[in-house]
Amino acid sequence: MEKAASNRFDVDSELRESLLPECRLKFGEVWEDPSGAHKVGCIDAADSSMVSGFMSGKKAKLALHDPPYNLVVFDRLGKADFINWCEKWIRNTSSVMDEDSSLYVWLGADQNDGFQPLPDFMIMMRGLDEFKPRSFITMRNQRGYGTQKNWMSVRQELLYYIKGNPDFHVQYTDIPKILRGYYKNIGGKLTENIERGKSENIRPGNVWVDIQQVFYKMRENVPGCYAQKPLKSSDRIVAASSNQGDIVIDFFAHSGSTMLSCERMGRKCFTADIDPIFCEISIRRLERFRKTGLAGWQNEDPFKREC
C-alpha cells in the first residue's frame, strides 16, 4: 500500500485555502449534532467567554485534552508564555467541570530542550487547589526520535488529575497474565494471584505498552492530521473515567478521536478546535462512522468528493 500524499492541513497554506470553503464552521460557530449527542465548536480554548458560551451551563464529568506542544508553538510563544496559555485553558476547563470529575492532559517532554514543557506544566498545576494529581501515565510509541546517540524517545506523557471524588472503572489490556505464584493469605486461605484477579488479563497500569501508534495503514488513520491519538487510548480513558450519558469535553479535537470514542460508548462529547478544518474533519469522521462503521479514512483523503 502506498503512503497517502496528503499534506498537513495546518501548515500547507495552498491546501488550507482550498479546504476552508468546504468547512461548515467559521471561527466562533458551533455544530450541533442532529442526534443531540455531541457538539463541535470552532473556538479558542483559552477564551473564557467562548468556552462558557459553548458549554451553555452544562458540566463535564471528564475532560480529555491534547494541546499542541510542538516546537512551532514554543518558537512562537516562548516557554513561559506557553505555560501561561495552558493555565488559561485549564482554568476555563475547570470552570465547566463537575464537582466530581476527571482531567487528563497529554503533554510532551522534549529531551532535546530541558524536557519541556512537562515539568513547568506540572508545577503550574500544583498552584490550582481544585485539582489533585492521581497518575502520571506513559504510553509507548512505536516510532521515536534521537536513536543514534541516545535512547530512542518513544514516550507520550499523560497526566491524570481529579476534582472531588469521581468514579474510576478499572481497565484491562488484551495481554494475558503469565506470572503465577504470587500467593496471599485471604481469610485464612492461601490464594494465588490468578485466582484472586478479576480478569485473566493484566491491567495497563501507568505504563501503556499495548497501544499501537496511528499510522497510514490503520483504518482509523486520518490523513492530514499530524497528531492523531489512537482510539484505543481515548476508549480506555473514556471507559475508566466516565459513565453512559456523561458529558466529556476535549477542547483540542484535531481528528475527533475523543468524540468517536464517546459515540461508540454512549457518552456526549463537547469538543472544540480553533481551526475550522479540524472541526470539519471531526464532524466528517463522526458522520462517516455512523454511515459506514469505519473509524477513519486509512489512506484516503477525508475531503475527497463523493462521486
Ligand X SMILES: C[S@@+](CC[C@H](N)C(=O)[O-])C[C@H]1O[C@@H](n2cnc3c(N)ncnc32)[C@H](O)[C@@H]1O
Chain contacts with ligand X (rule: CB under 6 A): 44-46, 66-68, 225, 227-229, 251-252, 254-255, 257, 272-275, 278
Q: How far is the CB of 70 from ligand X (least distance, A)?
A: 8
Q: Which helix (H) or strand (E) holds 289?
A: helix 276-292
Least distance between ligand X and beta carbon 103 (Å): 14
Rounded to a whole number of angstroms, the minimum distance from the CB of residue 67 to ligand X is 6
Report the residue number, 166 or 256, with the smaller CB distance to ligand X.
Answer: 256
CB 131 within 8 A of CB 163: yes
Nearer to ligand X, 72 or 170 (CB): 72
Helix axes 231-241, 257-265, angle to 10 degrees: 50
How far is 191 from 178, CA to CA, in rounded Å? 16
Rounded CA-CA distance 29/8 in Å is 23
Q: Give the three-state DSSP class for 234.
A: helix
Q: CA–CA distance from 142 to each of 95, 110, 209 (Å)? A: 36, 17, 9
Q: Smallest distance from the beta carbon of 187 to ligand X, in angstroms?
A: 45
Closest approach, Cβ 254 to ligand X, in A, equals 3
Widest Cα–Cα separation across the chain: 72
Residue among 173 and 233 whose Cβ is closer to ligand X: 233
Residue with Cβ nearer ligand X (161 or 251):
251
